[in-house]
Amino acid sequence: MNKKDKGLVWLQTNLRLQSNSSIEAAASACKSLAFLYILPEHWFEPTSWGFTRIGEHRLRFLVDSLIDLSHNLEKQGHSLCFRRGNPEELIPALIQEYGFDSLFVQQIYASEEQKVMKSLHASLKIPMHLSDDNYLYRPDQLPFDLQELPEMFTRFRNSVERKPLKGRMGKLVDLKQNLSFELYSEPFPELTCAAHPWFAGGESAGLKHLKNYLNSGHVRHYKETRNGMVDKEESSKLSPWLALGCLNAHTVLALLREHEEEEGANESTYWLWFELLWRDYFRLVAARYGNALFLPGGIQGKRKKMAFKKAVFERFVEGRTPEPFVNANMNELRLSGWMSNRGRQNVASFWVHDLGMDWRAAAAWFEHSLIDYDVASNYGNWMYVAGVGNDPRPNRKFNIRKQAEQYDADGRYQQKWANR
């Protein structure tokens, strides 16, 4: 490559300027740069379940993250081009129209995204540079071949933990030496709902939240509080920023390790690392099993007949089941785009094991609703609960009443989200 080149950086779930290897590679290789985000048009078309891929809360967090990225680019003399459309059509058209010499893209290990990547690779006549930095371990850094990924999380964890990982605190990329190549940008979509009070979209808010969480010392009690359902500080609340790549998992780990060096490590700081490993694990499961994540029998390839009744589904998502604990959680999700991990486990178990319904319908509803929606974590967890994923036990059924007594003993959570 030659430093005269024009580079196009296509951003997806790496909406940040710090520790972003796509942007770093483009900045060092190309003279002028354009930054592009494409909101896929098909996310707004109803799926076979009768609703769209993206709902208002998820869209709000995404658009706020794009606005923040666009401001941060402007501070360095660049701009973000926002378009709605189909990447497979739009990217080749832009490359042809403006004569870009290379494309910089982030790797996403999910079957639909891989299909787009392959089709671009086949049709483009310019080099496509892939980055892979949204997780802790890249597949080529594992102590085993991806095809030998352990089927149980514990075995995966034991094997990667033999080589302690420090986390890299990447720099803020310097784009002042690069010329800005302006593309026509559409206005951001009109938003219909307010931002969640805990989650302001974007890298700036994400970094601030991460530092506050560590400096306030809440992380030191994470293991004991993480199953809480009412207060912000009970768990890290990092997932929305991690899902859109406003934060790099390496940045989280580097600051966590720094905290451990200064304040000492404890069971809670270890447990946060442990949960980040779950995130990596599900991403690797997606990389290994591809489209099986979306099949009724999941990665186990089980023959599974499942029911779907529209009226039952509507009562479930609208919080009108006979279980007040499930209803409160489903109300919270519908009205805010958020649900705690404890809530997610319970409503998933209820949908699959009490109602006996097709897990994929509720997983699709989570995809539509969650502001931290992440393809691998969502479908990986749903398969797990449904007994078609990485858990050898076929029936992970929760006793909902007991769970409510244990995790919402004073009823505070159910009161907050009842009858909405």
Ligand X SMILES: Cc1cc2nc3c(=O)[nH]c(=O)nc-3n(C[C@H](O)[C@H](O)[C@H](O)COP(=O)(O)OP(=O)(O)OC[C@H]3O[C@@H](n4cnc5c(N)ncnc54)[C@H](O)[C@@H]3O)c2cc1C
Can you give the binding site for ligand X, defined by CB under 6 A? 226, 235-239, 242-243, 272, 275-276, 278-279, 282, 340-341, 344-345, 348, 366, 370, 372-374, 377-378, 381-382, 385
Q: At its nearest, how many Å lie between ligand X and the CB of residue 249? A: 8
- Residue placing its CB nearer to ligand X in the complex, 43 or 126: 43
Q: At its nearest, how many Å lie between ligand X and the CB of residue 140? A: 21
- Residue placing its CB nearer to ligand X in the complex, 74 or 231: 231
Q: At its nearest, how many Å lie between ligand X and the CB of residue 62? A: 13
Distance CA 317, CA 148 (A): 38
The residue with tokens 């991460």 is: 210
- Tally Cβ neighbours within 10 Å of residue 382: 25
Distance CA 325, CA 21 (A): 43
- Residue placing its CB nearer to ligand X in the complex, 239 or 331: 239
- Residue placing its CB nearer to ligand X in the complex, 214 or 242: 242
Q: At its nearest, how many Å lie between ligand X and the CB of residue 319? A: 17
Distance CA 127, CA 147 (A): 28
The DSSP code for 392 is S
Q: What angle do CA 266, 270, 293 make, to 5 degrees?
A: 160
Q: At its nearest, how many Å lie between ligand X and the CB of residue 183? A: 31
Distance CA 34, CA 340 (A): 38
Strand, coil or helix: 82? strand
Q: What angle do CA 71, 133, 196 make, to 5 degrees?
A: 50
Q: At its nearest, how many Å lie between ligand X and the CB of residue 279? A: 4
- Residue placing its CB nearer to ligand X in the complex, 178 or 377: 377
Strand, coil or helix: 179? strand
- Residue placing its CB nearer to ligand X in the complex, 119 or 278: 278
- Residue placing its CB nearer to ligand X in the complex, 228 or 411: 228
- Backbone CA torsion sign across 107, 279, 21, 97: positive
The residue with tokens 């973000």 is: 80
Q: At its nearest, how many Å lie between ligand X and the CB of residue 44? A: 19
The token pair at 311 is 């009226």
Strand, coil or helix: 188? coil
